[in-house]
Amino acid sequence: TQLLEQSPQFLSIQEGENLTVYCNSSSVFSSLQWYRQEPGEGPVLLVTVVTGGEVKKLKRLTFQFGDARKDSSLHITAAQPGDTGLYLCASRYGQNFVFGPGTRLSVLP
């Protein structure tokens, strides 16, 4: 059983479209991280959200942390082929870090 669930598992869209991916848990987290991973590389941190209801923007990416700190979303506006990759959410759970299984995004030119 995954502590962090992500949806959708796969997403293929055309360049210029908007999309939202989700990260959900039954547990409350003190903070949540979003990473992007490209083939053959390690995950790269995009953002950390800490406060319930928090919204952070990173150029065309908008991240939201749910009010109850049990869910988060990542919205991409006008997706570009360079956004292609595996998007992972992660959080600390006790002494461990846990990761969701990821959303694999493919943006077609």
- Considering only 23, 25, 33, 71, the residue that binds other proteins (CB under 8 A) is 33
Phi, psi of 81, rounded to the nearest 5 degrees: -55, -30
Of 50 and 78, nearer to other proteins (C-beta) is 50
Rounded CA-CA distance 96/109 in Å is 39
58: contact with other proteins by CB under 8 A:
no
Rounded CA-CA distance 108/84 in Å is 9
Q: For binding to other proteins (CB under 8 A), which residues are involved?
A: 2, 4, 30-31, 33, 40-45, 48, 88, 90-92, 95-102
